Amino acid sequence: GPLNETSLPLYFGWFLFSSVQDKVGCTAMDFLKTLDTLEGFKNHIADFTEQPEKEVDLEQYFETKGILHCTTKFCDYGKADGASEYAKNPVVKKCYGSVFELSLTALFVTPRTVGARVCLTDEQLKLWPADTEKESEADVPGSAALPVGSRAHITLGCAKDVEPVQTGLDLLQILTLPTGEVVEEMELGSLRYYGEGRWMLDLREPICAAACFSSFYG
């Protein structure tokens, strides 16, 4: 019937439970609050501002972007390559509406975005389009050589005029670089610098985030 032919969503993904959104949002805010006070960060402040004599308030610098989620497939209402194939995949249909536990293993910050890296289980990888990292090669050289699922992330905020699609690209870029030097041992974990304003905090204790696999129409 006509309902079956209705448009595809903007994207499929795992949507964090609201209590978990609060927890993750607070952890991210605490991280940003601490990061911009560290000497190690201030030494590289020019990456974030053209007026390096000024301080940067990272909490103000980034704007939040709606419900916290980890996109699996961006469908663009059917206009994206592979959108209808993804929606028809039996695993996608079977898992639709199911609850998963995502493991957040790192937080990362660049002059464009702030996000959380998601480490997918084998079961979760079945919902991850296998060509994601290969298709990212044009934007981020080296992506195709990374393990499948490397792009999995949650956008926590974007700088002014930056679209959330940038967060996954920023993560991939960090992952293609040699491991950065540890600049600070923070309570949450080791903070590494990757040059050009790119920071990654490997969490000592991954954050376990309950999330529902579903889709967003907007």
* Distances, alpha carbon 156 to alpha carbons 40, 64, 145, in Å: 22, 6, 26
Q: Shortest distance, CB of residue 1 to ligand 2AM, whole angstroms?
A: 28
For ligand 2AM, the binding residue among 14, 15, 41, 74 (CB under 6 A) is: 74
Can 153 be counted among the known catalytic residues? Answer: yes
150 contributes a contact to ligand 2AM by CB under 6 A: no
128 contributes a contact to ligand 2AM by CB under 6 A: no
Query: On the CB side of 62, how many CA atoms lie within 13 Å of its CA?
Result: 26
129 contributes a contact to ligand 2AM by CB under 6 A: no
168 contributes a contact to ligand 2AM by CB under 6 A: yes
For ligand 2AM, the binding residue among 71, 110, 124, 173 (CB under 6 A) is: 71
- Which H, E and C letters describe 125-173, residue by residue? HCCCCCCHHHHCCCCCCCHHHCCCCCCCEEEEEECCCCCCHHHHHHHHH
213 contributes a contact to ligand 2AM by CB under 6 A: no
Q: Shortest distance, CB of residue 54 to ligand 2AM, whole angstroms?
A: 29
3-class SS at 87?
A: helix
167 contributes a contact to ligand 2AM by CB under 6 A: yes
Q: How far apart are CA 34 and CA 185, in angstroms?
A: 12
